[in-house]
Amino acid sequence: MNDRLDIHEAFASKLRIILITALISGEKTFTELKKISGATDGNLSVQLSKLEEWGFVGVEKAFEGKKPRTTCSLTTHGRSEFEKYVAALEAVLKQPEA
Amino acid sequence: MNRTEALDSIELIRKVINSTGADYSKGVRSCVFFLIYLALNTAMNLAFTLYVRNGGYEHEIIRLYAGANAWIGFIFIAAGLAAYAFIRKKGDSVERAFAEIWIILPTICVIMQKMQFLIFGRNLNTIQSTGFAGYIYGYNESARQGNLMLLAFLVFTCILATAVISKDKHIKKMAALFLVLSMGTFIFKDTNVSIMAVENYQDTANTYNFNYAYMYGISLIFTAWVIYRLKTMGRQNGGEKKN
């Protein structure tokens, strides 16, 4: 956690912010997230694993016929942390300019 | 974090939300559905109540009223189907659509109808007749059927619609079985078990009709099974594809 603003480490990376924000509007497949973020498979996979490890994202792997399909969704914890993050950003913007 | 970084982050979030669509649509969609239904229904209930209070012929007007309610039910289902198609296109969860539009909202609507009647129809010497039965059978019979008919009818139609849309062959098979089982309502049609006496208008509100209870019961079992099936087959958008 960032002590000063109480922001989770997950929001330290732009890609992770993009992924969390994209999942706010509902679950997305790996392909959809790749399209939205423009990230490579490897990078996306690593960041999703981190988010899953922190309990921000739930990842479900299944088969659509014979084709594998990975679906990601934001957890309640992830959503709540995102709300905290947005509130922190708003707080920064409300502060008078130095 | 300084102001510039915060602005950058806000801008990034805004861009992603704009490109993916915000979550508000689902809530708005449900509310719009519900409000439209409620507005139409409330207007009809008010009109009906005023008519009767001003000396209108109760027996006939209740027939029209019940018929109109049934048609609103049809419109509601059609709108639900359209929304469902839209949701599927967007790739949202089919279980959510199923539960939200076809199970929860119609149930709330029926409960609201009951509440409206309690408010508008206070001291009125009649009972509510909201179902399709009111259109078909008329006042006395529809009074016995009650809201269970409307609810069973809504669920029945929605389940069949799900089966038609679903690509899952198991769901289709179960829908066929459900259809066969629903024929049981014809067996029980003439063996309605009214717990309370039908002669007294007030008492009829508490009558119990086995015919529609049976239909509603099997509808619920089928619904539960479909949701379970959708959840366990690891496919979010309507059923696994045939290989």
The 10s digit of each residue's pLDDT in B105-114 is 555 555 555 5
Asked whether A87 and A75 are in contact (CB, 8 A), the reply is no
Tracing tokens 């709330």 back to the chain, one arrives at B108
Structural domain of residue A83, as residue ranges?
A: 9-94
Look up tokens 């912010």; give the residue: A17
In this predicted structure, which of A9-23, B12-26, B205-219 has the lowest mean pLDDT? Answer: B205-219
Mean per-residue pLDDT of chain A: 84
Q: Is the pLDDT of residue A31 over 70?
A: yes
Evaluate whether residue A25 is within a structural domain. Answer: yes
Candidates B2, B16, B22; nearest CB to A18 = B16
For residue B237, the one-letter residue type is N
ipTM, two decimals, is 0.84
Confidence of residue B182 (pLDDT cuts 50, 70, 90): low
| Nearest Cα to Cα of residue B107 among B2, B203, B220, B221 | B220
d(Cα A43, Cα B98) in Å, to the nearest integer? 35
Interchain CB contact of A11 with B (< 8 Å): yes
Domain membership of residue A35 (yes or no) is yes
Q: Does A7 touch chain B (CB under 8 A)?
A: yes
Lowest mean pLDDT among B9-18, B100-109, B230-239: B230-239
Of B10, B92, B240, the CB nearest to A26: B92
Identity of the residue in B3, B21, B241 whose CB atom sits nearest the CB atom of A65: B241
Sheet holding A57-64, edge to edge: A28-29, A67-74, A57-64
Mean pLDDT across B21-25: 45
Please, which residues bridge with residue A2 across strands?
A7
Cβ <8 Å between A17 and B92:
no
- For B23, which residue in chain A has the nearest alpha carbon? A25
The pLDDT tens digits of the residues spanning B123-177 come to 554 444 444 444 333 344 444 444 555 555 556 666 666 666 565 667 677 767 7
pLDDT band at residue A2 using 50, 70 and 90 as cut-offs: very low
- Whether A3 has its CB under 8 Å from any CB of chain B: the answer is no
Total of domains in chain A? 1
> Residue A98, class by beta-carbon neighbours within 10 Å (0-12 exposed, 13-18 middle, 19+ buried)?
exposed
CATH number at residue A71: 1.10.10.10
Q: Record the tokens describing residue B74, joined without a space.
A: 């049809």
